[in-house]
Structure 1
Amino acid sequence: MKIFTKMYDACLRWARHKYAVYILGFVSFIESIFFPIPTAVMLAPMALARPNRALWLAFVAMATSVLGGVVAYIIGAFAFQSWVYPWIVELGYGDTYNRAYQWFLEYGVWVVLVAGFSPVPYKIFTLTAGAMSMAFVPFLVASIIARSAQFFLIGGLVKWGGEQMEHKLRQYVEWIGWGVLILGVLAYIIYNLVN
């Protein structure tokens, strides 16, 4: 049974929808605030479906993600204790928040740069930055750099690989899907054993 191939084909069909770019922007925006699914999950198949627009799609994802990060920063600054922290604990991100908080204390703005590629959800960093009253301009600059790096890397690889990459990826998507799933489970187990 080819689970990941079916999912991949479905993502490519959705990516060709006439409103796909608006959906990408919306998902990218809310992912920076509360949405649990990473933007890259939608950006990659959209860029594969339209390699000639891959960099434009990366820009849309980056811009809307940073705007969502600004909204999350404001929410964190004004409603963290009353609304955000209880919600973080309810969703099971309490330990993740505490880790992000410690990283902010140790590394400051550099944490936001790392957040673009970290396994810790970006939304935790945006909300925490607001709650800790981090200087807004460095937060904004770091967010733009981090999100640009992630999304333009995806868009650039797809543009470079083009249609050929789409066919190769489809050919190996089952192996990649199961491999990522197994690595994720192993990382989770190792992380829990270490902490």
Structure 2
Amino acid sequence: MKLFGPLYQRALVWSRHPKAPALLGGLSFAEAIVFPVMPEVMLAPMCLAQPKRAFRFAGISLLFSLLGAVVGYLLGHYAYEVVKPGLAALGWLTRIEAEVAELRGIVAHSPWRAFWLLVLAGFTPIPLKIFTWASGIVGVPMLPFLSAMLVGRGKRVYLLALVIRVGGERAERALHRWIEHLGWAAMLLLAALVGWLLLRGPAA
């Protein structure tokens, strides 16, 4: 979280705004396309402030993340070459091209292998935009793509809502304390899944 600096602090301020649900939706939408702050930084304090509405807030975040994922996919598919210089300036081009190379190899064997990769990716701290753009560039079929986004991001936001509702402020403190460790563990699982999918070779 420290990497996000002022943007993280701004998201916490937004979480206490009277129009917080709309801001959460906007943040979730933008994060799937270009914004560097994960919507959980707003979702967690909102769930803590109104536990009975935690799952509603998670649903808002999921819906707008899916909408943003579609926009990111379409931008990757139709506008990648145009925005390459901008992505390079932001420092994202290397990461996106690495994901493109992995996805292209996996999709060549089976689009549904990409589904499992994207499901796990939705639970890591890797920005969602990396995967939405890469999926569009490669041309992952829309059904596996949206299914993966739904499961991957859905389990993340609903699990957070459940943890905050059950554990309250203590759970939020623990989440912020251990988020980096959990994130790196998920990234290791993601790397293991990629390796497994690639080593399996073409589907029979």
| TM-score bin, normalised by smaller chain | 0.7 to 0.9
Kindly provide the amino acid, as one letter, of the partner of residue 129 in structure 1.
Answer: S
Q: Is 1:35 the equivalent of 2:46?
A: no
Sort the Cα spacing of 1:143 and 1:158 in 2 relative to 1 into closer, same or farther, 3 A.
Answer: same
Q: Is 1:82 the equivalent of 2:87?
A: no
Aligned residue number for residue 190 of structure 2: none
Question: 4+ residue runs of structure 1 moved beyond 4 angstroms?
Answer: 8-14, 163-166
Q: Normalized against structure 2, the TM-score is what?
A: 0.73
Aligned residue pairs, count: 171
Aligned residue number for residue 47 of structure 1: 47
Superposition CA RMSD, Å? 3.1
Sort the Cα spacing of 1:12 and 1:70 in 2 relative to 1 into closer, same or farther, 3 A.
Answer: closer
Q: Secondary structure at the match of 2:17?
A: coil
Structure number with the bigger relative contact order (C-alpha 8 A, sep ≥ 6) is 1
**Contact 1:54–1:156 (CA under 8 A) maintained in structure 2:** yes
Sort the Cα spacing of 1:163 and 1:135 in 2 relative to 1 into closer, same or farther, 3 A.
Answer: same
Which runs of structure 2 are paired with 1:29-178 in the superposition (5 Å)?
A: 29-83=29-83, 85-107=84-106, 108-162=114-168, 165=171, 169=173, 176=177
Sort the Cα spacing of 1:74 and 1:162 in 2 relative to 1 into closer, same or farther, 3 A.
Answer: same
- Report percent identity of matched pairs: 34
Q: Normalized against structure 1, the TM-score is what?
A: 0.76
Mean alpha-carbon deviation: is it higher for 56-65 or for 154-163?
154-163
Sort the Cα spacing of 1:146 and 1:9 in 2 relative to 1 into closer, same or farther, 3 A.
Answer: closer
Kindly provide the amino acid, as one letter, of the partner of residue 99 in structure 1.
Answer: A
